[in-house]
């Protein structure tokens, strides 16, 4: 069983590294928020595998707290972005459509 | 938030909670016992007190009286959701790992049959978990979901495919949560919204 | 290894592989919405499978099993909400490039709203112009 949990932890480590690459690359805040969300979920998987590996339940409250935290963090980011940062990548914005929308009430 | 927030009258605070809040308080107590991992009297009493405190301090918008959900429909809905979750997960995972270009995508407008906030919310929630779609925006007055979908087959037919699967899923949601609505048209589902006004 | 150990091993490994697929999708998919697909579905199922695999090992401990069930349930309920919030924020702040889409009904709807065809609907505008209008 130890081998299985080792392999699972290795796979999860690779997955987490991939997500961290996305977290660093961005390009926008929302991409990073999504990546952070997935990172927390992979962390949840990792802690759960650790629980199975050790056979002890001391980390179960950590799992509960993390699962609540991941949701709260993405909601917070979305609220923040919606208020503060309407366009973080202006070059990706479709200017002509913007103008069309603004001319009409 | 919703206009319902204003109807939780200040006079209710500090007194006994409204009858409609009993389900959510029961759920809080159950959750509390689960978190503590025991159902000893101390934990249950503590949970009840916490639930009272939460309802008094953070009054939730109470839901309108919903139609009685159907147990059989809910079980069937759960089975479909699990099956679809499995299918769409494997599909997206395959798109992620297969060599070659990533699939195209589209935003599709999918009209819903019911206008009830609760039904729209339930359908939207399940849809973004399930069949290869992601809810981008919702127009509540016209009951339209705007879904981002991966194009798996013919690009010309993606809109019809998505709309068909939305319709099927909504029928299952209605069958589970508002069994009368399917039989009598959408009247029951609309009543839920009317009752709020 | 007993039979239950094998079940648990299969669940743990398949869950981890789904999480890996989610990670690859996060890296490979070109825009926010497609990444949300990868980050929602395989991720949720992967976590559920891993949790199930752990549950199999912890079965005698009822409180831990219930706690893990809550973790799974909570993820199942919140993941779609979070992904919808992020997707909508991506749309309303206009950071997602849309020229690659095969079909874009939302743009049609926005143009119709701008033309005043849906007076009862609040058009899904960018927060920027709306904030200006209010201030």
Q: What is the predicted ipTM?
A: 0.77
**Higher pLDDT residue, B126 or B11?**
B126
Report the distance separating Cα A24 and Cα A35, nearest Å.
Answer: 9
Confidence grade of residue B92 (pLDDT, cut at 50, 70, 90): confident
Q: Specify whether the backbone of B185 is left (phi greater than 0), alpha (psi in -120 to 50) or beta.
A: left
**Higher pLDDT residue, A14 or B65?**
A14
Report the distance separating Cα A33 and Cα C26, nearest Å.
Answer: 12
Number of domains in chain A: 1
C41 to B88: CB separation less than 8 angstroms, yes or no: yes
What string of H, E and C letters represents the secondary structure of B97-160? HCCCCCCCEEEEEEECCCCCHHHHHHHHHHHHHCCCEEEEEEECCCCEEEEEEECCCCHHHHHH
For B128, the closest of C70, C83, C104 (CB atoms) is C83
Residue reference for tokens 């204003």: B6
pLDDT for residue A64 is more than 70: yes
Task: Look at residue A90 and tell me if it is in a domain.
Answer: no
For A30, the closest of C81, C95, C128 (CB atoms) is C95
Report the distance separating Cα A35 and Cα A23, nearest Å.
Answer: 5
For C63, the closest of B38, B88, B129 (CB atoms) is B38
CB atoms closer than 10 angstroms to residue B45: 11
**Higher pLDDT residue, B98 or A14?**
A14
Tell me what the mean pLDDT of segment B97-107 comes to: 78
Task: Look at residue A53 and tell me if it is in a domain.
Answer: yes
Task: Look at residue A104 and tell me if it is in a domain.
Answer: no
Question: Can you give the pLDDT at residue A99?
Answer: 40
C70 to B35: CB separation less than 8 angstroms, yes or no: yes
CB atoms closer than 10 angstroms to residue B34: 19
Confidence grade of residue A66 (pLDDT, cut at 50, 70, 90): confident
Task: Look at residue A8 and tell me if it is in a domain.
Answer: yes
pLDDT for residue A93 is more than 60: no
Report the distance separating Cα B70 and Cα B58, nearest Å.
Answer: 30
Residue C103, min C-alpha distance to chain A (Å): 16
Residue C11, min C-alpha distance to chain A (Å): 10
Report the distance separating Cα C90 and Cα A78, nearest Å.
Answer: 9
| Phi, psi dihedral angles at C77 (to 5 degrees) | -80, -40
Report the distance separating Cα C98 and Cα C90, nearest Å.
Answer: 11
Q: Are B128 and C40 in contact (CB under 8 A)?
A: yes
Task: Look at residue A25 and tell me if it is in a domain.
Answer: yes
pLDDT for residue B1 is more than 60: no
| Rounded CA Rg of chain B | 20
C25 to B38: CB separation less than 8 angstroms, yes or no: no
- A6: closest chain C residue by CA: C13
Quick one: how far is CA B93 from the chain centroid?
A: 25
Confidence grade of residue B62 (pLDDT, cut at 50, 70, 90): low
Contacts of B124 in chain C (CB under 8 A): 80, 84
Report the distance separating Cα A10 and Cα A42, nearest Å.
Answer: 12
Question: Can you give the pLDDT at residue A51?
Answer: 86
Q: Does C2 touch chain B (CB under 8 A)?
A: no
Q: Domain spans of chain C? A: 3-98, 102-135
Structural domain of residue A13, as residue ranges? 2-85
| Phi, psi dihedral angles at B63 (to 5 degrees) | -75, 150
H or E element in which residue C79 lies: helix C62-92
Task: Look at residue A94 and tell me if it is in a domain.
Answer: no
pLDDT for residue B184 is more than 60: no
C93 to A86: CB separation less than 8 angstroms, yes or no: yes
Confidence grade of residue C119 (pLDDT, cut at 50, 70, 90): low
pLDDT for residue C130 is more than 70: no
Residue B77, min C-alpha distance to chain C (Å): 14
pLDDT digits (tens, 9 = 90+) for C39-98: 788 888 888 899 888 888 887 777 778 888 888 888 888 888 888 888 888 777 777 777
| Neighbouring subunits of A (3+ Cβ pairs under 8 A) | C
For C20, the closest of A14, A61, A71 (CB atoms) is A14
């Amino acid at each position: 069983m130890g081998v299985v949990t080792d392999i699972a932890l290795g796979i999860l480590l690779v997955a987490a590294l991939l997500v961290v690459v996305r977290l660093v690359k961005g390009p926008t805040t929302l991409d990073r928020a999504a990546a952070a969300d997935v990172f927390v979920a992979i962390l949840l998987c990792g802690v759960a595998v650790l629980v199975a590996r050790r056979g002890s339940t001391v980390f179960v409250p950590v799992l509960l707290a993390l699962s609540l935290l991941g949701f709260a963090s993405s909601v917070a980011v979305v609220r923040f972005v919606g208020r503060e940062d309407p366009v973080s990548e202006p070059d990706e914005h479709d200017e002509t459509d913007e103008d069309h929308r603004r001319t009409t009430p | 938030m919703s206009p319902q927030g204003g109807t939780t009258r200040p006079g209710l605070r500090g007194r006994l909670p409204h009858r409609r809040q009993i389900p959510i308080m029961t759920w809080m107590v159950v959750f509390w016992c689960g978190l503590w991992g025991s159902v000893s009297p101390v934990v249950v009493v503590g949970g009840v007190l916490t639930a009272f405190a939460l309802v008094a301090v953070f009054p939730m918008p109470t839901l309108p009286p919903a139609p009685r959900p159907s147990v059989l429909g809910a079980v069937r809905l759960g089975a479909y959701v699990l099956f679809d979750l499995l299918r769409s997960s494997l599909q997206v995972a395959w798109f992620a790992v297969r060599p070659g270009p990533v699939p195209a995508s589209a935003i599709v407008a999918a009209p819903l049959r019911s206008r009830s906030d609760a039904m729209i919310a339930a359908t939207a929630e399940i849809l973004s978990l399930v069949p290869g779609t992601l809810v981008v925006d919702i127009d509540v007055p016209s009951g339209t979901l705007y879904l981002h979908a991966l194009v798996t087959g013919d690009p010309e037919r993606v809109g019809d495919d998505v709309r068909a699967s939305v319709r099927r899923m909504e029928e299952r949601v209605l069958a589970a949560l508002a069994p009368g609505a399917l039989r009598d048209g959408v009247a029951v589902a609309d009543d839920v919204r009317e009752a709020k006004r | 290894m007993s039979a239950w150990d094998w079940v648990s091993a299969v669940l743990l490994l398949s869950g981890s592989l789904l999480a890996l697929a989610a990670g690859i999708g996060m890296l490979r998919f070109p825009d926010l919405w497609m990444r949300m697909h990868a980050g929602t579905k395989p991720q949720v199922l992967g976590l559920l499978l891993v949790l199930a695999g752990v549950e199999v090992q912890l079965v005698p401990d009822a409180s831990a099993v219930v706690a893990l069930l809550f973790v799974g349930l909570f993820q199942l309920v919140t993941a779609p909400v979070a992904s919808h919030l992020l997707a909508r924020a991506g749309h309303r702040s206009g950071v997602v490039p849309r020229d690659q889409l095969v079909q874009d009904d939302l743009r049609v709807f926005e143009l119709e709203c701008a033309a005043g065809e849906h007076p009862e609907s609040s058009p899904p505008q960018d927060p920027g112009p709306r904030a200006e209008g209010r201030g």
